[in-house]
Amino acid sequence: MLKNQVAVVTGASRGIGYGIALELASQGANLVVNYNSSAASMEQLVQTIHEQYPEVEVVAVQANVADFEQAKQLIDTAVAKFGRVDILVNNAGITKDGLLMRMSEADFDAVIDVNLKGTFNCMRHAIKPMMKQRSGRIINLSSVSGISGNAGQVNYAASKAGVIGMTKSLAREVATRNITVNAIAPGFIETEMTGQLNDAVQTTIKGQIPMQRFGQVSDIAQTVAFLSSSAANYITGQVITVDGGMTM
């Protein structure tokens, strides 16, 4: 259980981030949940947490994590409200897929700015209170694309591979302060994005997965909860693939 711990979850207004926030709330963690543009979805998340877990305090913060100062305001809000940051989940991410020969510089930069620099920004600001506390959990969302690559995702794969490199490097820097830094690399998870794929494409993808099915948001959320818990005290610098065996 994570009772009375403080978790910051970026990109929490929908999909995997939404599920992570609900899972951490179910474990008793107080939450600072971040969104950039999906205000209505965020309101729904906050209302759901209030209804299902009335003992949990939750604060919603609008911020573009790609912006260094806005990321600082996000972490500062958590410290001002709760006095500490115990868990940081860097989930915010975007895709702008396309073959390299047609990919614009703007589409490359946008994905790197949110997925890679956004993760750096939040870690950079959260590490100070964690160092002061001499404790903390940082969990970064990477992707199987960052491990094996994926056609049409040069920008996305680069950003997610970079997240893995940052995870391992920071884990080495802060291990003596009782701060763990790990990454989760999801495979194909049932979200709005995979729901837009037609049946033929879904069938083809599932044929490449040893378990022959997509994962659930809960598979990722429960892995985040585990890495946030005392059960994962001696795990750091790792990349956990949650992909039904796709990259083994």
Active site positions, annotated: 156
Residue 1 contacts residue 202 (beta carbons within 8 Å): no
**How many C-alpha atoms does 205 have within 13 Å on its Cβ side?**
18
231 Cβ neighbours under 8 A, 6+ residues apart: none
CA distance 145 to 153: 8
CA distance from start to end of the chain: 31
Whose structure tokens read 């490097």? 169
Q: Among candidates 71, 62, 77, 109, which has minimal Cα distance to 90? A: 71
183 Cβ neighbours under 8 A, 6+ residues apart: 139, 140, 141, 142, 163, 164, 167, 238, 239, 240
CA distance 70 to 185: 26
CA distance 220 to 109: 27
